[in-house]
Structure 1
């Protein structure tokens, strides 16, 4: 990924042209990444990508015509690398990208830079292109970079990714007419110090790769309206031309027609409204199938305020983890607008994020805007959205495909679910939420059932933990239990699943405001304990976030545990593939004290484990999936498993408490 060394350019003009083209092709991805990072985020994700590619492609023409260095370089050039093809291309890309951060004189503030309005290759019609989203570290870096000056962003990338010295970076920025180069270098140093992971690795990720792109459709409704407008203007122009052609008064008339141009900022009239019943006639059952509901769905004043709060925020936006504050690039979809209790609420969706705008009808508090990721939502994770959290309760807006709504307490699996009233607009009565305190007296959840037109007998649980979207709870039973044998998560509504969640429910408090979309409890092993200790079940609870990463907690419970008694934590691991379809094998170990006061070392593995090897205070190897061996007081042990695939597997995570 490093740029070539800045070696002197020699040879004739034709050689330089061929060399420039060769270098551009070879380093195209690096140059586009640089241009994309330097360009302002105000261009929007799609336009920013296209402009980055355009600047790099046009840099070749400018590099061809650039003057070459004198035969005898000056002392400064000799020190800083001289005039090379790579340097000329780099300077041209930097100079062109930096101009987009400067508003031309007399150009209205808030308008898109005029350079972005000129049609240039590459041109894309009918699609929106943007880099794929990265993880939490990448998004955090993107937010910090968006607040830094463009020259500092350029210096940060040149230092970390390309490995250039500060002197070389200083020279390049000066040649590109960057303002206040010393300050840019200082800011780049601060950004490097604040990075939790390697800055080079973060900048090399897909979050900042403008060549590995994700495609999506443009605003189809707006496209249709614009096509009609263009046809209307064309027809009017044709009529005017004919009228002028047949006029016999001898005078020449010049007319000017006002044709709307792309302003880059969606308006209320552009809001997408899905027709009622779409969910019953589509294979995509998610937020795109939600109709616009609520008593104020046509209140333009309220919708203007809500949309403006997202596109031109005047106050701080409350962002869920791994969520960007970037305004929507196209008109979002209206999901709801109405009065709920003492508040007016507007719910919007831009295809990747949910935005909830709330204002008090008495204007006693400032409006609030909450934005959270909701990409790749499905029939369960798009089934409910929090409308009005208040104290220990909340009202929810349910998806149009939800046929039945109930509530239940996970700590009382033997108590039947209770019916929950839902208004004709899909708004529920107040529902208790999972408290933020460690108090574990109750763990209320929503139990929803999809329409038979979506899936037969499909009920599922959602846990209200304070985020915009409740957390989907699932369960994977022990090997050999259930029909058919479980290899994938299933809904946590059956008796066995509810009993398992009874011992895991208290841990849901830790999920508040963490951006978790789903939690699966996987009972991966069971064993009989010595000294009449009962029957033990080992569980791996995996919490998947909207950003894609997941954390796991390994625990075990015994048949001697009282109802609702929390399972004992054995190990934890963050940002891991363990206990997912990409990490289907697991092994864990722990010390355990029997009812008779004797200490044992316990170990257990998932279905593919054939041998366990324990070391530490106890050393033993056994051809089995579980073991229990006598051990000293509070033993410290580690375990390693051998799999039926021939591979070895280490224990997951770090010991729990």
Structure 2
């Protein structure tokens, strides 16, 4: 569904030459400008709002007639006489060089970046002047989405969501606009970015090693807000909204009538300005959304929106009302916890009810709302003690990451509410890879028996996980592992096998096979370091295998990457030396936060460690991923080797720096 360009304005006075030229540039290059705005805008807006906001930002780029901005000052960057130089290869779509285009582009860039600087409560997150105008374009009853791309486009979108607006802007200006680094820094400076050079440096790491591929993806339909798909919003939810708006309008009329009868400025005795009063229609238990029991088997969106309401107290309006009021304005007696990056704010519209019942001595209610959050409310049945309110993010949840939610947690273990598409469930110990799983009892309402929790401290002698299998009604024989890291949403565990000779790079797969279980048996205890950090999934990538010196056996190198719900990732590089026990912990040789390493956009890695042979001699070992063609050691010990592994004699405390050569050119430093 193409969104057409706006008609040229005819109300601008003829003497406004600068504005007329800017308007002509805007109309001519409208799709390019909207795409730029879409990439720079915060992904947290959601694709529908981001599409509409991108169009609004561009359509508001021109100043009103008679304003002081009507005579545009041409930004320095746009005064070039030809297309700017590109470090990313020739562009198939030449960048306009007219000063008016540069002026409009700068205003679009400023407005898009301003969205990220607005407080979360600001209406529409728009810059202040625009927020006072009607939010155009307006689409009633439809949801708009760019055409879906493939796995690579989705990975690029997630990588962009993990960085801030200036970095996205620098990335887009280089790959979409073809600007060189100095041109990007100039333009970001004029857009009032605090650290343009830093944004350019961070943007340079995105899309590596295939920047040309990233450029093609950025120009694909996945990032084109001018060619979109439509679908209706939830029709039942829309009916509830209309009813709520009608009720609110009626209340406003009544309140207005009462206000006439009281002294101006006085607060009437019945006036309710509390959040619960303002949100009364939204927080009415009767307005809660409820999904049909079999919807999960007949929808392409298999996530929390497909969960039906379950439990014995789903019709208890008193309980549901207390839960909603606590969500809107938690009393001091209610303990509130949030997954990192999750907003603990009231819902913007009636949430979806997932569960309401009594579990382990507490009345528990689970909600899901349009902001992609799962919210758990619990109150003790005994009446003693306070309640609890927990928030967790669920952005882009799927068959696996939307398969379970913690419904109750005690000191010994946790019970999970399973998705309706789960056909089989079992528990197993990651530290016992050869021991088969044991069936996990699940009640008719989807609540499991208690699953032991991994020990948070002390000896790490067991790591319980749950193994689930999806119903064949949605996917055939899809089994996967989830582990409890102390939050509402359990963490999905995956595995990437060792590189085979002559075989292409492989994608993460479910961690249920023998090799995956053996790798996780050695690395499971390192998951303790990730507890409470909002981790969505953890992947073990066996990136290298190394024959050890002095006739030793082979050792494995594993990169354990944790991806959070909010985007940033953490990496632990682990060395798996030969061991007598299949559960002997690996050695962590590197730990990095906020990095693209070991992901789609960080496919190359080099790591090293000190290792002692049976003879007592010490070595420096190094290993790299499949594109590494050679490794060189410098410092207290020197040596070189062709291929992805290296072993050099060196003292135990030798300070050695490792550098790798890559197949496509360039070098790589060892991660620390």
TM-score range, shorter chain: 0.5 to 0.7
Name the residue aligned to 1:184: none
Q: Does 1:521 align with 2:540?
A: yes
Equivalence map 1:59-98=2 (5 Å) = 64=66
Q: Does 1:122 align with 2:137?
A: yes
The answer as to whether partners of 2:635 and 2:656 remain within 8 angstroms in 1 is yes
Name the residue aligned to 2:590: 571
The answer as to whether partners of 2:640 and 2:646 remain within 8 angstroms in 1 is no
Q: Compare 117-126 and 279-288 and name the one that shifted more.
A: 117-126
1:436 deviates by 2.0
Q: Does 1:650 align with 2:665?
A: no
Name the residue aligned to 1:323: 342
Change (3 A) 1:265 1:601: same
Q: Does 1:478 align with 2:480?
A: no
The answer as to whether partners of 1:552 and 1:579 remain within 8 angstroms in 2 is yes
Give the match's secondary structure for 2:518: helix
Number of aligned pairs?
A: 516
The answer as to whether partners of 1:135 and 1:322 remain within 8 angstroms in 2 is no
The answer as to whether partners of 2:363 and 2:378 remain within 8 angstroms in 1 is yes
Aligned equivalent of 1:294, options 311, 316, 335: 311
Change (3 A) 1:161 1:267: farther
CA distance in structure 1 between the aligned counterparts of 2:533 and 2:243, rounded to whole angstroms = 45
The answer as to whether partners of 2:281 and 2:287 remain within 8 angstroms in 1 is no
Change (3 A) 1:127 1:363: farther
Q: Compare 602-611 and 337-346 and name the one that shifted more.
A: 602-611
Change (3 A) 1:277 1:622: same
Change (3 A) 1:48 1:648: closer
Aligned equivalent of 2:444, options 403, 409, 424: 424
CA distance in structure 1 between the aligned counterparts of 2:384 and 2:338, rounded to whole angstroms = 23
Q: Does 1:451 align with 2:471?
A: yes
Change (3 A) 1:622 1:363: same
Change (3 A) 1:524 1:54: closer
The answer as to whether partners of 1:136 and 1:547 remain within 8 angstroms in 2 is yes
The answer as to whether partners of 1:44 and 1:329 remain within 8 angstroms in 2 is no
Name the residue aligned to 1:632: 651
Name the residue aligned to 2:433: 413
Aligned equivalent of 1:220, options 204, 219, 235: 235
Give the match's secondary structure for 1:64: coil
CA distance in structure 1 between the aligned counterparts of 2:381 and 2:284, rounded to whole angstroms = 23
Give the match's secondary structure for 1:504: helix
Deviations 1:282-334 (A, max 9, x none): 22221121111111112222222222333444457422112123433333221
Unaligned 5+ runs, structure 2: 1-11, 71-102, 120-129, 147-156, 166-186, 207-223, 247-277
CA distance in structure 1 between the aligned counterparts of 2:470 and 2:616, rounded to whole angstroms = 50
Give the match's secondary structure for 2:305: helix
Change (3 A) 1:230 1:502: closer
CA distance in structure 2 between the aligned counterparts of 1:317 and 1:53, rounded to whole angstroms = 38
Aligned equivalent of 1:619, options 629, 638, 649: 638
Name the residue aligned to 2:76: none
Deviations 1:319-365 (A, max 9, x none): 21121234333332211111112111111112411111111122323
Larger-Rg structure = 1
Change (3 A) 1:216 1:615: farther
Deviations 1:197-217 (A, max 9, x none): 989999xx9xxxxx9899996
Equivalence map 1:196-595=2 (5 Å) = 218-224=233-239, 265=282, 267-314=284-331, 317-351=336-370, 352-480=372-500, 487-595=506-614
Give the match's secondary structure for 1:339: strand
Change (3 A) 1:318 1:48: farther
CA distance in structure 2 between the aligned counterparts of 1:164 and 1:586, rounded to whole angstroms = 35
The answer as to whether partners of 1:398 and 1:427 remain within 8 angstroms in 2 is yes
Give the match's secondary structure for 1:301: helix
**Cα RMSD, aligned residues only:** 4.8
1:127 deviates by 4.1
Give the match's secondary structure for 2:525: helix
Unaligned 5+ runs, structure 1: 1-12, 69-84, 102-114, 140-159, 166-191, 206-210, 232-260
1:227 deviates by 7.2
CA distance in structure 2 between the aligned counterparts of 1:538 and 1:56, rounded to whole angstroms = 49
Deviations 1:508-547 (A, max 9, x none): 1111111111111111111221234332111111111112
The answer as to whether partners of 2:338 and 2:344 remain within 8 angstroms in 1 is yes
CA distance in structure 2 between the aligned counterparts of 1:608 and 1:491, rounded to whole angstroms = 24
Deviations 1:175-198 (A, max 9, x none): xxxxxxxxxxxxxxxxx99xxx98
1:584 deviates by 2.2
The answer as to whether partners of 1:533 and 1:560 remain within 8 angstroms in 2 is no
Give the match's secondary structure for 1:275: coil
CA distance in structure 2 between the aligned counterparts of 1:625 and 1:56, rounded to whole angstroms = 49
Change (3 A) 1:567 1:345: same
Change (3 A) 1:615 1:61: closer
1:136 deviates by 7.2
Change (3 A) 1:409 1:19: same
The answer as to whether partners of 1:534 and 1:560 remain within 8 angstroms in 2 is no
Give the match's secondary structure for 2:347: coil
CA distance in structure 1 between the aligned counterparts of 2:359 and 2:316, rounded to whole angstroms = 15
CA distance in structure 2 between the aligned counterparts of 1:607 and 1:199, rounded to whole angstroms = 28
Give the match's secondary structure for 1:503: helix
1:50 deviates by 7.8
1:45 deviates by 12
